[in-house]
Amino acid sequence: MRIDIITIFPEMFEGPFSESIIKRAQQKNLIEIRLHQLRDYTMDKHKKVDDYAFSGGAGMVMMIEPVARCLETLKAERIYDEIIYMSPDGDLLDQKTSNKLSILKNVVILCGHYKGIDERIRQHLITREISIGNYVLSGGELAAAVLVDSVVRLIPGVLGDETSALSDSYQDGLVSPPVYTRPQEFSGWKVPDVLLSGNEKLIENWKHEQAVERTRKRRPGMLEE
């Protein structure tokens, strides 16, 4: 999968994309992430990419021209399956969406800033809008990093068996059961006996019961679905 990210703060991605699973996915050539500095696509001599809103009021709005020029350049090279705008009022990101996105080939992610982006970008140039939650961030970069992380770990070959995504929360309509590791006892707090029993069937049943119970308590809506 190739992911092109349009941003005015490309450095914000350095940390999240240069560690752990996303780093390995790039090294294994399972994903290719390209960061594009939006300011490189403005004709303005001061590299301005935002301007005052026509309505007046506080906050700057990101202009359509640099975004359109950047997208034109990218689209001349390949066909994109989705051009996503990270937006607080977009479709709420969930595991189903990440699963669907993980089988795409080419994706663009546009990060907004300031007061948002000119509405005409959203109407004419964007194919999809995604929010990571009902709260407002200062920019789309952190949201885009969250989206990329949740998608990349689902691409076949990215995770080894030991971290298989299939057993994670939401993948089978349930949240994960609790997990334990050594020591067997700490400050009198014990690991449930069943997990030490060696009886695979009992352990499987216990995990399933725990997952259902947790889902009922924490995400009752999921069981209804």
Residues in contact with ligand SAH by CB under 6 A are 86-89, 111-113, 115-117, 131-133, 135-137, 139-140, 143
Query: Does residue 163 come out as left (phi exceeding 0), alpha (psi in the -120 to 50 range) or beta?
Result: alpha
Which residue's CB is nearer to ligand SAH, number 141 or number 175? 141
| Token pair listed for 22 | 């996303």
Nearer to ligand SAH, 50 or 174 (CB): 50
Nearest residue relative to ligand SAH (C-beta): 112
Cα distances (angstroms) measured from residue 105 to each of 3, 34, 101, 144: 8, 14, 9, 17
Query: At closest approach, how far in Å is the CB of 6 from ligand SAH?
Result: 11
Residue 140 or 177 with smaller CB distance to ligand SAH: 140
- CA 28 to chain centroid: 20
Residue closer to ligand SAH by CB (options 131, 215) is 131
Shortest distance in whole angstroms from residue 118 CB to ligand SAH: 11
Residue entry with tokens 């707090």: 189
- Bridge partners of 2, per DSSP, are 32, 106
Instruction: List the structure tokens of 162.
Output: 């030991």
Provide the minimum distance between the beta carbon of 180 and ligand SAH in the complex, in angstroms, as a whole number: 34
Instruction: Pick between residue 121 and residue 211 the one whose CB is nearest to ligand SAH.
Output: 121
Query: CA torsion, points 97, 102, 106, 110, in degrees to nearest 10?
Result: 40
Q: Considering the complex, what minimum distance in angstroms separates the CB of residue 61 from ligand SAH? A: 9
